């Protein structure tokens, strides 16, 4: 059963089924996203496009484009998106950044803050080691298995288990 709700975009009243926006706004968002996606794919020949320039060209806020990027809606076209480091202003792609900073500034900021920066792979390796150690401890804490009790029957040496 559909309930009445206000559209998150235009604040109009509509029958909410799945989406948080009304059907008109949903169609508008899809058209905007298609425009964004096409422009991002076209930037392949240019070596990518800065997120601020893309937002200005297609008329979509940077925050919305970042949300599409983090939700993985951009798919393979996301590799053509370039970001500006918030610290030094260097333009980097997704491989050359950590959060809002380039890798160099990320390391500088983290050492100033006294925080250790780890790569995703090193964190995954540590998690795997911890899980392996936990499994080994579980095995050590299990009671020793006892061999099943057997008895011989007189018929051709068959063994019967209890």
pLDDT band, very low/low/confident/very high, at 56 (cuts 50, 70, 90): very high
Residue 106 CB contacts under 8 Å (≥ 6 apart), including other chains: 97, 98, 99, 117
For 73-122, the pLDDT digits (tens) are 888 788 888 888 888 888 888 777 777 788 888 777 777 666 665 666 77
The helix (H) or strand (E) run that includes residue 15 is strand 13-16
User: Could you give the percent of the chain with pLDDT greater than 70?
Assistant: 80
Once rounded to an integer, what is the mean pLDDT over residues 114-131? 73
pLDDT value, residue 138: 75
Alpha-carbon torsion 117, 121, 123, 129, what sign?
Answer: negative
Residues 49 and 70: their CA atoms lie apart, in Å, by: 17
Supply the pLDDT for residue 161.
Answer: 58
* Mean pLDDT across 55-69: 88
What pLDDT, on a 0 to 100 scale, did the predictor assign at position 149? Answer: 60
Name the nearest CA neighbour of 48 among 56, 36, 57, 39.
39
Share above pLDDT 90 across residues of the chain, in percent, rounded to a whole number: 7
pTM of the predicted model over 0.85: no
Helix (H) or strand (E) holding 45: none
């Amino acid at each position: 059963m559909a309930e009445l709700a206000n559209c998150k975009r235009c604040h109009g009243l509509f029958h909410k089924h799945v989406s948080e926006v009304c059907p008109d706004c949903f169609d508008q968002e899809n058209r905007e996203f298609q425009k964004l996606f096409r422009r991002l794919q076209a930037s392949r020949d240019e070596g990518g496009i800065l997120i601020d320039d893309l937002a200005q060209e297609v008329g979509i806020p940077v925050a919305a484009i970042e949300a599409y990027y983090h939700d993985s809606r951009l798919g393979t076209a996301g590799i053509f998106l370039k970001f500006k480091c918030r610290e030094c202003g260097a333009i980097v792609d997704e491989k050359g950044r950590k959060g809002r900073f380039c890798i160099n500034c990320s390391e500088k900021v983290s050492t100033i803050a006294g925080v250790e920066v780890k790569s995703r792979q090193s964190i995954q390796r540590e998690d795997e080691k911890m899980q392996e150690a936990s499994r080994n401890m579980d095995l050590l804490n299990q009671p020793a298995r006892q061999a099943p009790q057997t008895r011989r029957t007189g018929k051709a040496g068959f063994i019967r288990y209890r």
